[in-house]
Every structure is written in C-alpha cells, then in structure tokens.
Amino acid sequence: MEKEWDIIEVLRHSRHDWLNRLQLIKGNLDLNRIDRAKEYINEIVIEAQHETKLSNFSMPMFVRLLLKTNWEKHAFLLEYEVLNEFSAVKIHDGQITSWTEKFFSCLDQAVEPFQENHLSITIEPQSEGVRFFFDFSGIIKENELIEHFLKSSETKVDIKECSESELALELFMPAL
C-alpha cells in the first residue's frame, strides 16, 4: 500500500534537504573551500532546473513518484534528468508510474542494501512520445529477479546492459 504524503510531511522532508545543502555550503565556506562551495551551488541549481522541467510535465503521478523516492526507504539513491522542455506531449501517466514503482520494488529486492547503489533516470520528451533511460550502478545480487521482472513486464523495455554492477534500460512511451 502506498503511503499518502500530506503537505506537512512534504515540507518537512524538503526543509531537511535544504538545511543539509546549506550546511554543506557553509561548511565548505568555513573551511575556505570557496571553489567546492561554488561547485555545490551549481549542482543544486542544475538539480532544481531538472526538478522544474519534471514538474512541468503532464504526468502528475510519475512526477510525484520521482520527487518523493529519495525520502522513502530504498536500497538506491535516485537522480533524474530531463533533457528538454516539451511539456505538451502527453503519455499514459498511470502506465509509466506503475511500471516504475514495480521496477523500484524489484531493484530494492535485487540489489545489495547499504551500498553505493545509484539509479539515474533520463527523460527525453519527443514529439512522438517520451523516451526513458534507466541507468543503475551498484551491486546487483539477484540478477534473476530483474530478468524475470523485465520478461514478465507488459511494457516493452529495451535492455542495453545487465551485469552484476550495471543495468541500463530504455523504455519508450508513445504520445496519446
């Protein structure tokens, strides 16, 4: 059962994230690491730009899923990138959200917990639909779970790489 997020919980998590970021910047400034503080500020700006692009899509369920994923208990850290702004394209929000939730659950079971597991999702809107690239790096202990999930998926997924330390998938959702 999916947890319902109320506005107070969302604001609490968001405030916590921002305070952590500010502390990192302040710590670097206190240590006179001006260049590192500037780099970190630039990283935050880029992340905020991707969040803005993501939030402008007509996929509220998928956007909500990505925005809250790192606040939940997962065996991986999620990053996402939106390659361009093409918010006019509409795809089946429920289908991509459901597939991604199941994929996250599969990953949680298949990877070694408490390791440096990273999942990057690149979103490329196009006039004919949206292309999603899922790139995982970390320690995959149960490759069979992932293979079974991908074979039984009703959504067509192109497997680019699958090893003990990397997984690269491409998924295309046509425009409605």
- 93: domain CATH number is 3.30.565.30
Bridge partners for 157 per DSSP: 171
Q: What per-residue confidence (pLDDT) applies to 9?
A: 83
- Residue 124 belongs to a domain: yes
Residue 115 lies in a domain: yes
pLDDT of residue 2: 59
Query: Could you tell me if residue 31 is inside a domain?
Result: no
Quick check: is 24 in a domain?
no
CA–chain centroid gap for 16, Å, is 19
CA 17, distance to chain mean position in Å, is 16
DSSP code of residue 75? S
Alpha helical stretches, state H, the chain: 7-30, 34-55, 60-69, 93-110, 143-152
Is 149 domain-assigned? yes
- What is the Cα–Cα distance from 44 to 42, expressed in whole angstroms? 5
169, part of any domain = yes
Structural domain tally of the chain? 1
Q: Quick check: is 41 in a domain?
A: no
Q: Find the domain containing 163 and state its range.
A: 56-174
In a domain, 1, yes or no: no
Q: pTM for the complete prediction?
A: 0.87
At 140 the pLDDT is: 96
Tokens encoding 55: 């939030």
Per-residue pLDDT tens, the chain, 176 aa: give them: 456 778 888 888 889 989 999 999 999 999 999 999 999 999 999 989 989 888 888 889 999 999 999 999 999 999 999 988 766 788 999 999 999 999 999 999 999 999 999 999 999 999 899 999 999 999 999 999 999 999 999 888 999 999 999 999 999 999 98
